[in-house]
Structure 1
Amino acid sequence: MTLPMTIPAPGLPTRVRIHEVGPRDGLQNEKTLVPVAVKAEFIRRLADAGLGTIEATSFVRPEWVPQLADAEQLMPLIDDVRARLPVLVPNQRGLERALALGAREIAVFGSATESFAKANLNRTVDDALAMFEPVVTTAREAGVTVRGYLSMCFGDPWEGPVPVSQTVSVSRRLIDMGCDEVSLGDTIGVATPGHVRELLATLGEAGIPADRLAVHFHDTYGQALANTLAALQHGVTTVDASAGGLGGCPYAKSATGNLATEDLVWMLDGLGIETGIDIHRLTATSVWMARHLGRPSPSRTVRALSQNSQTSQKEM
């Protein structure tokens, strides 16, 4: 079976937690509505492949994201899955729905820029943060872990490059609000490694250490793995990725797919960094989901491994 040669590099973490976003961030951008039973099976297969954190769904209003309108139906189907199953909630009502179904981890979704806050939430940055504050407070009082997503941390399709100080300011406010972790989103994929290092260093100077941060890169310009490596070198140990490279952003048309989980695992395996993930089981899961979506996976690793598997079977 094909695996990369393992040659560790100095200055990197020994283990990385992959925060799998395929069932939520990946499927929310699909034109085809995926049946709830298929979503549940997708999550089960991801867990069986070794993923310990799988973002399951979002409790948004159905008209906002029709692809995730079945959150209430999905949650009971996966309540025995042995993995962390965070869900996205947009407001207090979304939190109430999630808590009623036993959610133990939630996420709120903010923006570093005014333009995207307006496009995504129809609010200013300040108004969005004010809306999140009671959500975070209520969740923490219920013993629920809270993640704060921050979009447009590096660039915005309307505003252009985003000043580092701007991203740091909103990140600080999410941490001060009570978020356990902030995921830094490169929503349109324009970040480069130097920008990543500068942002992480400035966040550290502002009192936000690497262990309170995750990174969420899109591969629009082919920079997602390079940016991830830069983040790992700075001490970040939580990386968001999407099985098969599913996803984009319904409110930012220039956003292409997320970093593919398989591409990330291939790199981490080669560096000797533990993830607990079986890349071949994961690849098989993405191939299976691609069939349900009616198109091939955009992940280079999925394509390479699945092609190698087919060649081996023919030779046998």
Structure 2
Amino acid sequence: MTTLTTRAPARTTPSQSPRRVRDKQWPAYVFMSPWMIGAGLLTLLPMAVSLYLSFTDYDLFDPPEWVGLRNYAEMLFEDPRYWRSVGTTLLYVVVAVPLKLALALGAALLLKNLTRGRGFYRSAFYAPSLLGASMSIALVWRALFNDGGSVTDVLKWFGIDTGGWVGNPHLAVFAVVLLAVWQFGAPMVIFLAGLQQISPELYEAAALDGAGAWRQFVSVTVPMLSPVVFFNLVLEIIQSFQVFTPAFAISGGKGGPADSTMFYTLYLYERGFTASHMGYAAAMAWLLLIAIGVVTLILFRTSRSWVFYADEEGR
């Protein structure tokens, strides 16, 4: 005869008191303190000061004078050059980003199946991304596209006389676009890493179903690579809204000809450091931050309909 005995449930006690948890966490805060101090002094504090200055009339020499929303009202309703800078920047983003990503993806697809010399070509294609943001490269680019430059001479040889892109109001902005597209190396490397993660079995299954190269690209490569496309798209759009050095070098810092290269950041620089309207420039900077945030939010919201994550169900 067996007797059943009931065992009292084990008494649960809190594993650690809040005080003991804090005692264990303080070393982490000590090691993080240099970053936290740097973030506060070099990022958060300047942002707070610039936000305050955006509501003032400040010329870098006299104390700031509070003017409320006057800078924002002048910017949005009284300054036509501001809207020209917005239009130029949007044109640059709409043209440069798709071309750059398309070229980067095309180069990555070519390098994916390359067996010999892949390292050399990958380094050669990536090099412009390291050099293109420098002032020296931008000045060389200006010389290439100026009247009498190499690009102009080559086009003349084919019977196309543009008279120099830099001095043409209709073509100057596209010289900046081509400089950005030339720097396709960074997104190319990211695309190449994404392509190498796609299982070859997917292509084999598509080939057995009779899919050709184009169908495999559309039905296999693009969906499986969509997270990488989304990542590159967000980064490139954010960077494109902040373009400055190429526009400054190619236009000589004036945004010419006829404000055709007056990008947003270049106009911000002109108002802040040339005209000494630092309060106005701070207001421009905050509107740019808001615009980038809104565009990024829209991209994240719309990504649910076209970005495919293989580890998520229901996609």
* Bin for the TM-score computed over the shorter chain: under 0.3
Instruction: Report the TM-score when normalising by structure 2.
Output: 0.23
Structure with greater contact order relative to length (CA < 8 Å, sep ≥ 6): 2
More helix by share: 2
Q: Return the index of the structure with the highest Cα Rg.
A: 2
Instruction: Report the TM-score when normalising by structure 1.
Output: 0.23
